[in-house]
Structure 1
Amino acid sequence: MFDYNIPYLLLILIFLLLSLLERKKIVGKSKIRFFSGLFFFIFFGTRGLIGSDWYNYMYYFDNASFSDIKIVEDFELGFSFLTKFLKLIGFNYNYYVLFITLIQTILFDNIIRKYSVNISLTYALFICLFPLLIIDALRNLLSILIACQALPYIEQKKNRKAILIIVASMLFHTTGVFFFLLFPFSKNYIRQPYILILLVIGTFIYFFQLRFFDILIESLGGVFGGRIDYLSKSVTKSDQSYGITLGIVEKYFFAYLLLKNFNMIKKTKILTPVFFNLFFIYIFIYLFFSTSESFINRFSLLFFIFYIVGIVNCIFVLKLYKQRIILNAVILLIFIKTFLTFNNILYDYSTFIYKKDDINKRETDRFNYYRERE
């Protein structure tokens, strides 16, 4: 069947219409922000048991209790406390997801309103390129968005506040530690020759599927220990590769677009150094570690917001005729990615506003989906 993706395609259509209104300045930016956030929040905040990790999060929520505090096992104390508190005051799982999605929407809006030149197009790219983060990574996304709130303080050289925000993000997911990279990468643009060299090396590694990093990752875990050690070991056990996909073509295209327009980007500051640099860090991680789906899911996704803002802002720095061509290509990409990504039974959309999901059916669908993939 090819109807699982219809609700998502309709949502994307709404965001693209909002993008047109925003681009033509028919509707003010504050109203665009409000309606974009509202549509995103309602659609994903009231979602039923879609995706895969609802199974783990529901189990985690159902067993959360302040009477069973285990500091050693609760690696992310902030997320653990939030979960236990919401459970204590009477939230059920659906309203737990709703509340977390509300926080995520507010945090996401707070970043893109400052750094993206087209808010609704940024939402559309977020949905079509990173559904895993939105649907299956409650604490990861929350941690990332908290850490990104440090960006304005880094720009203002208020480093103490920025550090506190990043530390707070680590309480929701340990990988928040990697956002200390915001400091060195916010100073200067990476020079083009270095980017080209890394792209060539990354391309060689990607196409020959060289798994060179096991020792490196294990060493990283040994240095940091604790949760990072656990994550590194789970990464090195994964042998699944992404291979040649539409995604890699997309990344090369946008990397070329940014490099081609580097001087204009630098002149207009439409992308600050940190957004430009971490756009490419996202791509480098994808290329260098393509033999490990687990590594990409854990680490490249940390920098998703720099990637999508990089795409959006680069489009609007182009001359008008080029802008129209690239924008049409991006819209086509958005529809194709949405159609392909959401076209399976795990994404059979439901909302608890209308009807409560049948847990047994969802468990069966989830089990059958992964069994067929083996």
Structure 2
Amino acid sequence: IYSIPYIILFFMFFILFLWENKLRNKGSDIKIIRYLAMIIFFIFFGFRGYLDTDWAVYFPLYEMAPTIDDTNGIAKFFSGIHEDILLKIEPGFKVILVLLKSINEDYLTLQIFSSFVNVLFLNYFFKKYSPQYVLSFIMYLIFSGLIIEINLLRNSKAIFLFIYSLQFIKERNAVKFFICNGIGILFHSSAIFFFPMYFFLHKKIPMPFVWGVFLLGNFLFLGQIKYISPIVIAVGDFFGGVYSLMAEGYSNDKLFNSSYSISVGYLEKVFTFIILYQFYKKIGEKIKDDNTLNIFYNSFFLYAVSYFFLSEYSVFIDRITTLFVFSYWILYAYLYAVLKQELKAVFTVVLLFFGIYKMVYLNNNILRNYENILWDKPTITKAYFNFNKNYDKFFNPKKK
């Protein structure tokens, strides 16, 4: 039953998807569809209660944050010396915490603000690049959007700033690209992975290389061949600091370095890889811009490579694939756009059932028990009770 609100959300977007196509077939404007999609999204995520796990990190952070008139508190908050590991976060996010705390001391203000910023970014992104506006929102919900929206309050800002900077890769404007992602790294250190993208994301990868890497990745995945841990530790030591600590921590924690195995997710990724590259030329004809085509296909290639090659390190799959999952949101919309009418019907039916499956699979636990402050009364006491009671069940099942 915990999945029901998410299934309802999916159905609302699915109806908007059908309505959008009806309007497009008539040549009508879809502005009303865009507004409704943004409003539904913002109400559902912006006014949510305490969902999943990362609120347990961000709530105490928000409590620690000073207001803008507390100069001593601000100096301590931004100092580089902290006994509390929670305060060892990026300065850009600290600025947001201080500004929001000065407006409203309620932690839920942070969630409202985060979702408002995210929906504006998504609207910009889908208007600019997607031929199917609502379908891209649906793909966002199905592929990593829920975890991005609910848990990744810092990461999401770095990801969306990178998405915004894609235009500068296309235009070959290095200054604007690095400024954008320089701001992103002030919100989350994972943005460092975006910096090299400027130099090759717009270039076409030869198809023999693409398929060769795909086959090798599947061989490593299916064979469960372990080779990453020594590389992770060496790279962490090279960069030092927080990266060294993260590498050591993840390598020694079975929660993070467990392997992925054959599943519906694996089969979906194999199918998606094959089908998207089979439709490469048709999608290219639809996009009509080689740089844009290469940017999204190369991002998808990095997503797939990360999944297949990092199977022994589940945390790497979760973290790195999330950086490039935006390619799904756009390429699936283009795939639908280039299909013949009868195949569009098949796509729609598969989308309906797969979407329901994903909403159930991703949300069928008490930590995703949905509450909304507009009609419920979520409390931090109840949230902590459920979190503490169920943490081991979900994240340390072998603990007795």
TM-score norm. by structure 2 comes to 0.88
Alpha-carbon separation, structure 2, partners of 1:185 and 1:311: 22
SS of 1:316's equivalent in the other structure is helix
C-alpha separation between the residues in 2 aligned to 1:348 and 1:50? Answer: 7
Q: Does 1:288 align with 2:309?
A: yes
CA contact (8 A) 1:74 1:80 kept: no
8 Å contact kept, 2:143–2:328: no
AA aligned to 2:228 is F
Equivalent residues in 2 for 1:1-374, closer than 5 Å: 3-25=1-23, 28-65=29-66, 66-68=74-76, 69-71=78-80, 74-130=88-144, 131-237=146-252, 238-269=256-287, 272-373=293-394, 374=397
Which stretch of the first structure deviates more once superposed, 150-159 or 132-141? 150-159
**Cα distance change of structure 1 residues 320 and 203 upon mapping to structure 2, 3 Å threshold:** same
CA contact (8 A) 1:278 1:307 kept: no
How far is 1:96 from its partner? 1.5
**Judging changes above 3 Å, is the alpha-carbon distance between structure 1 residues 182 and 319 closer, same or farther for their aligned structure 2 residues?**
farther
Q: CA deviation at 1:346?
A: 0.8
What secondary structure, in the 3-state scheme, does the structure 2 residue paired with 1:24 have? Answer: helix
CA gap 1:180/1:67 in 2 versus in 1, 3 angstroms:
closer
Task: Write the distance in 2 (CA, Å) between the matches of 1:63 and 1:301.
Answer: 29
Write the deviation string for residues 243-288 of structure 1: whole angstroms up to 9, x where unpaired.
2221111111111111111222233336621101111211110111
Per-residue Cα deviation, 1:71-130 (whole angstroms, up to 9, x for no partner)? 366441101111122113334101111011111111121112111111211112212321
**Offset at 1:349?**
0.5
Instruction: Flag the structure with larger Rg.
Output: 2
Residues paired across the two proteins, number: 372
* 2:333 aligned counterpart, secondary structure: helix
Measured on the aligned residues, the alpha-carbon RMSD in Å equals: 1.9
In 2: Cα distance, 1:28 partner to 1:228 partner = 48
Separation in structure 2 between the aligned mates of residue 277 and residue 269 of structure 1, nearest angstrom:
15
Aligned AA (1:171): L
Structure 1 distance, partners of 2:127, 2:197, is 19
Larger mean CA deviation between 116-125 and 236-245 belongs to 236-245
Q: For structure 2, list consecutive stretches of 5 or more residues without a partner in the other structure.
A: 67-73, 82-86
Structure 1 unaligned spans of 5+: none
- Any idea what the Cα deviations from partners look like across 1:176-231, whole Å, max 9, x if unmatched? 11112432343222222111111111111111222211122222223333333333
- Give the distance between the partners of 2:351 and 2:205, measured in 1 at CA: 25
Distance of 2:197 and 2:203 partners within structure 1: 11
How far 1:319 sits from its partner (Å)? 2.3
- d(CA) in 1 for partners of 2:250, 2:320: 10
Q: Which amino acid aligns with 1:321?
A: E
Q: Give distance in 1, aligned partners of 2:346 and 2:199.
A: 35
Q: Is the 8 A contact 2:300 2:324 kept in 1?
A: yes
CA contact (8 A) 1:209 1:291 kept: yes
Q: Identity percentage over the alignment?
A: 26
Instruction: Output the amino acid matched with 1:112.
Output: F
Conservation of the 8 A alpha-carbon contact between 1:186 and 1:272: no
Aligned-pair CA distance for 1:308: 2.2
Query: Are the counterparts in 1 of residues 62 and 97 from structure 2 also a CA contact under 8 Å?
Result: yes
Question: What's the offset of the Cα at 1:20?
Answer: 1.1
Superposed displacement of residue 67, structure 1: 4.2
Tell me, in whole angstroms, the C-alpha distance in 2 between the residues paired with 1:288 and 1:213. 9
Q: Deviations over 1:229-248 (max 9, x none)?
A: 33333332333223222111
Query: Which stretch has the larger CA shift, 182-191 or 166-175?
Result: 182-191
Take 1:185 and 1:25, find their aligned partners in 2: how far apart are those partners?
Answer: 38
Q: 1:331 to 1:181 in 2, by over 3 A?
A: farther
Distance 2:188 2:287 in 1: 31
Q: Name the amino acid aligned to 1:34.
A: Y
In structure 2, give the amino acid aligned to 1:31.
I
Closer, same or farther in 2 for the Cα pair 1:90/1:359, shift >3 Å? closer
- Alpha-carbon spacing, 1:290–1:279, altered in 2? closer, same or farther (3 Å): same
